[in-house]
Chains A and B, each alone.
Chain A
Amino acid sequence: MTIGVLVDLMLALALVGLSLRVVTGRALFRDIVLFILFGLVIALSWSRLGAPDLALAEAAIGAGLTGALMLMAYRRLVAGGAEDVAPRRRPPLLAVPVAVLTGALVALIGLAALGVERVPDAAGTIVLEELGASGLGNAVTAVLLVFRGLDTMLEMAVLLVALLGAWAVLGEVHPGRLHQVDRRTPLVGALLTTVAPVTLLIAVHLLLAGTDAPGGAFQAGAVLTGCGVLLVLTGTVRPRAAAGLATKLLVIAGLAAFVMIGASAVALGRAPMSLPGTWAVYLIETAMMLSIAVTMTLLFARARALEPERA
């Protein structure tokens, strides 16, 4: 057994232990914290499995964003008087056998699948062969934007629908009251002036490098969301009653860019979703990054729009 496998075993142990606590615990706040750590360990696992693109996405989205969203929702429930600690209840009789059986079944097929010999012309292999033609150096980005762009376009639609759905059930918005961390606290102010620009830099770096190295619009968008969340939490921006045109345009930008380029290809006599060049990849990715960041920040703030807080 090599040290590598030892590391894998430890991560695996942490995954199983954490998931058990997250799922069976009875103090919600603690278990959300554990869930964030679960995401962190998953990110480490991606690193071990040789998938840095996924590690980046998991760090930013899986652990960071989902965790922050959960904490925020928790805060709203508790502010409304919800109980944190659940009473102990007898679990349904079949729950344990069903869970154990499902797990065992999945393990069985997963292990069996490991033994399957790889097809020589698997899609992933062809991607690597055709990578040169796509003009990109990062195979994952090439799949997402060039080879299977339709999936990514529809995924942007999913994100948009999530926001529209959240808006539909928003109810009354109370402008203002969101943050509890005062941005005039000296350290927080310093944080804002350093971390916010650094997040911006990292986002741009991930976006630009993402065509050839790990990274891309999703990771960049998630990092940028981190910046947005920071602004919301420190009260630098506050919710507004209605979304203006700028907000709406930012929210739809990613999908709109994809749709326009994908559909205009048809008008030019090419197959739908063909991209006219590498510049289109950058254009779409930039639009996607902005849309992801704005959408997720709005979902986090539970707002239709945000505006700078006037001091």
Chain B
Amino acid sequence: MTTEALALLVFAPLVAGLVVIAAPRRAAAPVAVAALLTLPFGLWPLTLVVWRGETVQVALAGFAPPLGIVWRVDALALTMLWLTLVVVLVVSLHALTSFPPASESGQRFWPLWLILIASVHALFVSADLFNLYVTLELVTLAGVAMIAIGGKPAAMRAAMRYLLLGLMASLFYLLATALLYGQTGTLDLYQVGERLDDGALALIALALMVTGLLVKAAIVPLHVWLPAAHGKAPGPVSAVLSALVVKVALYILIRLWFWSGGAAGGDGAALLLGLLGALAIVHGSLAAITQTRLKMLVAYSTVAQLGYVMLLFPLASTAAFRAVTFHMVAHGVAKAAMFLAAANLLHALGSDRLQRLVGADQRHGVNVLAFALAGVSIMGLPPSGGFVAKWMLLEAAWRQQGWGWVAVISLGSLLAAVYVFRVVALAFAQPKGGSVRASVGARGGGRFDTTALAALLLAVLAILLGFASAPLVALIDRGLPPGMLP
């Protein structure tokens, strides 16, 4: 049953993507929707098994490693799969309107979108270093293609920069994979972890791999590609890039560190990664505060929020792991909501310059509300998911007497409050002269349509995560890294 479920997650969107390419236009929407709706049926059996504390393993073509590739779903992978499912389903709802499948733009968007979903799934379940390389490349290329999809110059520039840096990062990763293979004779993540000694060669290989992944994860100072790439992409694409695609690299990084012997790098390396995270939090937040465009602001917020994940490496405790994994989910949902809301506002107002937002609440209340709710989670205010994550992280740092980390986490929330409030305050501000200036260039964004609904849905979910954090925490606890106790 679990094998079928796992295969469904990868093959269903892939098949749908192929059908959308070849089939007549009117078939695109039903096929895509049908494929998306099968995904929960794939995820549910896996959840049942993992919830019992087991791990799902499928040796592809029946060949066990080191000969073959293994799909492996533990609680961490499952958590990311659930995040993917939620984000993808709701963002697809948005895309059904913003990229109608039968339209010219939809015909470009949907095959890439479905293949992207399949590849994200394939990545999260893969336990093979080289297979991860291929899926990572697939995710990056699909992401780049979707950023550039509109053909706008700014978006293409951003896509180009992302592509060049992404390809360079992949080469670092690939080189490291080869070195690890040479030493261990295997590409399986877990076997590499078992067979790797902590000699200098292994450490350098891991360092190369980590460097490549940091570029893909846009950790300061290797983040230069992210703001424009996420800020200039079409709404659904920005949402999924920020919510999932950057997390993909962080996910591999965490796997590598805690499952494949990366921690052999020692406390110094862990501290360095943590410091980069702290730098990301501060730099990203400050940059977000100074932005004049809404989507760029949200993109810089992503740079900052990714920094929190890096604090896991120096803290390296069960509590920190729990907190960071929770944070990845909470941020994913909230940031997707924020980008969708921002994109809706951009579409409605004709520009996403912050000054244009004045009075937006009157005509675009739902989107402003979604943005504000998601902002609550990003800031880490109770009772949101973001609050739970940051609180847990704060507690973890506190318990280990990492006062520096405590200070950074608190500062990050404070700065986040500044940039979120800045937007919300503008949106609720009274327009000069009392008239609604926002109507200039408005393009029917006032209605409560599915695009607004999608943003609001995700925003509400981001808040609800705060109320219903227990099951998620319980799930995360079932997949702690080796050596960590619940």
Q: Do chains A and B touch in the complex (CB under 8 A)?
A: yes
Binding site for B on A (CB under 8 A): 105-106, 108-109, 112-113, 116, 118-127, 130, 146-151, 154-155, 157-158, 160-162, 164-165, 167-169, 171, 245, 248-249, 251-252, 255-256, 259, 262-263, 265-266, 270-275
Chain B 117-142 interface 0/1 with A at a Cβ cutoff of 8 Å (1 = within): 01100100000001100110110011
B186-221: contact bitstring with A at CB < 8 Å (1 yes, 0 no)? 110000000100001100110000000000000000
In the assembled complex, 15 residue pairs joining A and B whose CB atoms fall closer than 8 Å, in A order, are: A112-B200, A112-B201, A113-B201, A157-B115, A160-B115, A164-B111, A165-B148, A168-B108, A168-B145, A169-B145, A249-B22, A263-B11, A266-B7, A272-B3, A272-B58
Name the A residues within 8 Å of B201 (CB-CB): 109, 112-113, 116
Given A109-B204, A151-B130, A168-B148, A270 and B66 contact (CB-CB distance below 8 Å): no
Check A106–B145 contact: CB distance below 8 A: no
Minimum C-beta distance from A276 to chain B (A): 11
B61 at the interface (CB under 8 A from A): yes
Query: Among A109, A165, A167, A270, which residue has its beta carbon within 8 angstroms of that of B179?
Result: A109
List B141-180 residues whose CB lies under 8 Å from chain A: 141-142, 144-146, 148-149, 151, 156, 175, 179
For residue A119, which residues in chain B have a CB less than 8 angstroms away from its CB? Answer: 183-186, 195
Known contacts A126-B67, A272-B7: A161-B142 contact under CB 8 Å = yes
Residue from B112, B135, B187, B200 in contact with A123 in the complex, judged by beta carbons closer than 8 Å: B187
11 new A-B contacts, CB < 8 A, other than A112-B200, A119-B186, A126-B67, are: A120-B185, A123-B187, A147-B63, A148-B130, A155-B134, A165-B144, A168-B148, A263-B7, A271-B60, A272-B3, A273-B61
Rounded to whole angstroms, the CA-CA distance of A162 and B112 in the bound complex is: 10
| B18 CB–A CB distance under 8 Å | yes
Q: Which one, A116, A161, A266, contacts B3 given CB within 8 A? A: A266
Task: Give the complex CA separation of A105 and B3 in angstroms.
Answer: 43
- A112-B200, A119-B185, A245-B22 known; A150+B145 contact, CB < 8 A: no
Interface positions, chain B 1-46, Cβ under 8 Å from A, are 3-4, 6-7, 10-11, 14-15, 18, 21-22
- How many A-B contacts if CB must be within 8 Å? 158
Q: Are B60 and A273 in contact, CB atoms less than 8 angstroms apart?
A: yes
Nearest opposing residue in chain B for A153, CB measure: B14
Smallest CB separation, A159 vs chain B (Å): 10
Partner of A165, one of B6, B112, B200: B112
CB neighbours (8 Å) of B151 from chain A are: 168-169, 171
Chain B residue at smallest Cβ distance from A106: B175
Which residues of the partner chain B approach A106 to less than 8 Å between Cβ atoms?
175
Chain A positions within 8 Å of B134 at CB level: 151, 154-155, 158
The reply on B303 being an interface residue by CB < 8 A is no
B69 close to A (CB within 8 Å) = yes
Give the size of the chain B interface in residues (CB under 8 angstroms).
Answer: 59
Contact between A271 and B15 (Cβ–Cβ < 8 Å)?
A: no
Which chain B residues have a beta carbon within 8 Å of chain A's beta carbons? 3-4, 6-7, 10-11, 14-15, 18, 21-22, 58-63, 65-69, 71, 108, 111-112, 115, 118-119, 122, 130-131, 134-135, 137-138, 141-142, 144-146, 148-149, 151, 156, 175, 179, 181-187, 195, 200-201, 204-205
| Closest chain B residue to A267, Cβ basis | B4
8 tightest CB-CB pairs across the interface, nearest first?
Answer: A122-B185, A165-B145, A119-B185, A123-B66, A271-B62, A263-B11, A273-B61, A266-B7
Shortest A110–chain B CB gap in Å is: 8
CA distance A270 to B7 in the complex (A): 11
Would A158 and B141 count as touching, CB distance under 8 A? yes
Pick from B22, B112, B122, B183: contact of A164, CB under 8 Å: B112
Q: Are B141 and A162 in contact (CB under 8 A)?
A: yes
Smallest CB separation, A150 vs chain B (Å): 5
CA distance A215 to B477 in the complex (A): 49
Nearest-CB residue, chain A, relative to B112: A164
Of all chain A residues, which has the CB nearest B182?
A113
Name B141's closest neighbour in chain A (CB-CB): A161
Alpha-carbon distance A256/B141, docked complex (angstroms): 19
Name the residue in A122, A147, A165 with the highest tally of chain B Cβ atoms < 10 Å from its Cβ. A165
Q: Nearest-CB distance from A30 to chain B (Å)?
A: 22
Q: List the A residue with the shortest CB-CB distance to B205.
A: A109
Residues of B contacting A125 in the complex (Cβ-Cβ under 8 angstroms): 185
Write the nearest CB–CB distance from A167 to chain B, whole angstroms: 7
CB distance from A292 to the nearest CB of B (A): 16
Given contacts A112-B200, A161-B142, A168-B112, contact A154 B186 (CB under 8 A): no
Q: Do residues A252 and B21 form an inter-chain contact, with CB atoms below 8 A?
A: yes
B61 and A147 within 8 A (CB): yes
Of the candidates A130, A164, A255, the one whose C-beta lies within 8 Å of that of B67 is: A130
B68 touches A147 (CB 8 A): yes
Instruction: Find chain B residues with CB under 8 A from A271 CB.
Output: 3, 58-62
Q: State in angstroms the CA–CA spacing of A18 and B90 once bound together.
A: 51
Contact B175 A118 (CB under 8 A): no
Task: List the B side residues contacting A147 at CB < 8 Å.
Answer: 61, 63, 67-68
Does B145 lie within 8 Å of A161, measured CB to CB? yes
Q: Which residues of A contact B59 (CB under 8 A)?
A: 271
Residues of chain A with a CB closer than 8 A to B68's CB: 147-148
Could you tell me if B18 and A255 are in contact, using CB atoms closer than 8 angstroms? yes
- CA gap between A126 and B185 in the complex, in Å: 10
Closest to A270 in B: B62
Enumerate chain B residues within 8 angstroms of A146, measured Cβ to Cβ: 61, 63
CA–CA, A265 to B320, complex, Å? 41
Tell me whether A157 and B119 are in contact (CB under 8 A). Answer: yes
The reply to whether A266 and B4 form a contact with Cβ atoms under 8 Å apart is yes
Q: How many Å from the CB of A85 to the closest CB on chain B?
A: 22
Interface centre among B22, B58, B112, B205 (most CB of A within 10 A): B22
Contact partners of A162 in chain B: CB under 8 A: 141, 145
A124 to B69, CA, bound (A): 14
Q: Nearest Cβ in chain A — how far from B105, in angstroms? A: 9
Please give me the residue from chain A that is nearest to B183 by CB atom.
A116
B22 touches A161 (CB 8 A): no
Assess whether A262 is in contact with B11, with CB atoms less than 8 Å apart.
yes
Q: In the bound complex, how far is the Cα of B148 from the Cα of A30, in angstroms?
A: 30
A121 to B184, CA, bound (A): 9
Whether B15 pairs with A151 at a CB distance below 8 angstroms is no
Given contacts A157-B138, A168-B112, A248-B21, contact A127 B60 (CB under 8 A): no
B137 with A122: CB separation less than 8 A: no
A118 adjacent to B61 (CB under 8 Å): no
B183 touches A252 (CB 8 A): no
Give the CA-CA distance A97 to B27 in the complex, in Å: 56
